[in-house]
Amino acid sequence: MRFGVFKELSSGETRVALVPDAVKLLLKKKHAVLVESGAGLAASIPDAEFAAAGAQIIPDAAQLAALADCLLKVHAVSNEQAAVLPEGKGLIGFLAPLRNPELVQILARRRIFSFSLDAIPRISRAQSMDTLSSMATIAGYRAVLLAANQLPKFLPMLTTAAGTIRPSQCLVLGAGVAGLQAIATARRLGAVVEAFDVRSAVREQVRSLGATFIEIAGQENLEDKGGYAKQVSAETLAQQQKLLHERARVADFIISTAQVPGKPAPRLITREMVADMKPGSVIVDLAAESGGNCELTQANQTVRQYGVTILGPTNLPATLPLDASRMFARNLSNFIQEITNENGFTMDWKNEIFAETCITLNGEVNQKRRTP
């Protein structure tokens, strides 16, 4: 197959779907790779490096779309871009079908054979393809650095000529991949860390990183079969907020990562909780794109209320574009090898990875996938 790598057009997006090492891997599998000129520049990868790896450099997106059998992107194409894609092409990227139902319908009308990387199932065999986890690792790491940059104090305990400086107190909400990386990074920088998650199964992971796991006494394990957090009841949410209100009062910074796939982010930090935090405290809300865990969060904005700084970044992986692209590309190349063979797409509907990630085909929406 001929795979085409688009230059990303989304505002602030600096990643590229493939890197030269991934190009070489696909060439070994008898695929061809076409790269739009300048696609890797924001990630510090010039066209010459792609060409040296064996990719063909194509001058513009329209020509690339015409020549490639399957188009590769990080972010979803816009509705406008999707409407002019040549019919019958393949498309792989973060399509977020549950949040973009109109895009899904456009892709179906254009008879695009599309796959969404955010739909890769949480099974052992798919770990090497899990782009969401790779990007969450970066987000958790960067979130702590953002908080440290905003705090008016050190993170570690220091013994100085002016006496001993106490370490900062960190509260991490959600102990998925991003949360665990945030815990590890905050601990490496010397902060004292507490973490909360509705899934009691992550308790030992949190403790293994040197953090304290806080939980509601007697709470059931709210984890679905895919390993994600379930949406909680109003009563459970009220208990959570009471507990978190107590812990927020002593925190110097909060890293918030709690999300439920396909639903608005749970509201864990209320205005009243923010008002009770220490002046100079910082909240980095990684759930900003899906509505935010904090009531005051605004996506891609810095909000200052009650002496607290609230950050709502939505694309932290793009702030480390070189390594983010390398990680994404390795996951993507593994995924491509899983769903293709020498004849094109495998069409193996018994393969859970293929069946779950396929969004549209033959002018229809794949009903295997959950749709709004």
Residues acting as catalytic residues: 122, 127, 130, 133, 228
Please, which residues have CB within 8 angstroms of residue 198's CB and are 6 or more apart in sequence?
219, 221, 222, 223, 229, 230, 232, 236, 240, 258
Amino acid type, 315: N
Can you tell me the distance from the alpha carbon of 319 to that of 174, in angstroms, rounded to the nearest whole number? 22
**Nearest by Cα to 262 from 234, 291, 285, 296:** 291
3-state secondary structure of 2: strand
Q: What are phi and psi of 127, to 5 degrees?
A: -60, -35
3-state secondary structure of 132: helix
Can you tell me the distance from the alpha carbon of 216 to that of 34, in angstroms, rounded to the nearest whole number? 53
| DSSP-assigned beta bridge partners for residue 365 | 360
Contact (Cβ atoms closer than 8 angstroms) between residue 331 and residue 134 = yes
Render 43-111 in DSSP notation, one character per residue. GT--HHHHHHHTPEEESSHHHHHHH-SEEEEEEPPPHHHHHTSPTT-EEEEE--TTT-HHHHHHHHHTT
**Nearest by Cα to 169 from 280, 288, 301, 298:** 280
| Structure tokens that stand for 12 in this block | 């602030």
Can you tell me the distance from the alpha carbon of 348 to that of 261, in angstroms, rounded to the nearest whole number? 25
Q: What is the dihedral of CA 305, 309, 311, 317, to 10 degrees?
A: 180
Contact (Cβ atoms closer than 8 angstroms) between residue 71 and residue 6 = yes
